[in-house]
Structure 1
């Protein structure tokens, strides 16, 4: 019984690993890790020097002292006072915005345009479904009109037969 249970668990685990979502997630993690190096290089090589032209190249050095006096020890830790390191937050925010922009403009937008072109080609090959729906609608309207016309003609005949005394309501 234990072997069957283990086989079932292993089969379930194998099915889990073989699903597309797990593989897609693994690929995304690997690409994301590689992409982090690119973003870090852009921030250090382009953004930090631009910010450095105004102040310092290292955004981590930007801070504000809330409780004076702020004194730093030789190792960079705060000896006294309360220091807010807003430069670190600014650097992380810039890194996030750059990452999001690069992902959107270099990956998401081109993929969306490509998928739109593929869908347009598929529709062109199959013909427009809108035309089919309109023609189906027209056919249904014609059928409705015919049924109304037949129903109206049948009633007229029934009234005529009742008025003349010929036939019965069940037999026109």
Structure 2
């Protein structure tokens, strides 16, 4: 018996990398990283100053002390402003991705599906009418031969 040769580690890795979904994922990560810089700039340049009109100039300046005074090494400082800033950046990113990418793609796919369904519906109508024409031809031929009645449908 001859054993089938297993692909080498390098060949398997090359096959993995050349799959389309891996390349698409890599492109998405690069675009996402670039987009993150834009969102962070919007949060720091627009959102933080607007919030700063009501308090500190930077969201990251919002802190609380959990234990003792937050001076030097004493006390435990909670940096909830940083968390708020990150949450705003996430919400802005999610909104932009949804409204500029997901929603238009869903509408496009729905239109494509509707077109395909309409095309298939028209095709079924043509097939049904062809069947009806063939039945009429059969009935005419039977009648011309002087058949003993109508054929079963």
Relative to the length of structure 1, the TM-score reads 0.64
Matches within 5 A, 1:18-97: 18-71=18-71, 78-97=72-91
Q: Distance in 2 between matches of 1:34 and 1:107?
A: 16
DSSP 3-state at the match of 1:79 = coil
Is residue 108 of structure 2 the alignment partner of residue 118 of structure 1?
A: no
Root-mean-square deviation (CA, aligned residues, Å) is: 2.2
Q: CA deviation at 1:68?
A: 2.1
Is residue 70 of structure 2 the alignment partner of residue 100 of structure 1?
A: no
Query: Deviation digits for residues 145-164 of structure 1, max 9, x if unmatched?
Result: xxxxxxxxxxxxxxxxxxxx
| Structure that is richer in helix per residue | 1
Aligned residues: 122
Relative to the length of structure 2, the TM-score reads 0.71
Q: CA deviation at 1:10?
A: 2.6
DSSP 3-state at the match of 1:80 = coil
Query: Deviation digits for residues 58-109 of structure 1, max 9, x if unmatched?
Result: 11110111222221xxxxxx42111111111111111111111111111111
Where do 5+ consecutive residues of structure 2 fail to align? Answer: 129-153
- Where does residue 13 of structure 1 map in the other structure? 13
Q: Distance in 1 between matches of 2:104 and 2:91?
A: 19
Specify whether residues 70 and 11 from structure 1 end up closer, same or farther in structure 2 by C-alpha distance, changes over 3 A only.
closer
Q: Distance in 1 between matches of 2:108 and 2:98?
A: 14
Where do 5+ consecutive residues of structure 1 fail to align? Answer: 72-77, 136-172
Q: Which has the larger radius of gyration?
A: 1
Q: Distance in 2 between matches of 1:39 and 1:128?
A: 47
Show structure 1 runs of 4+ deviating over 6 A: none
DSSP 3-state at the match of 2:57 = coil
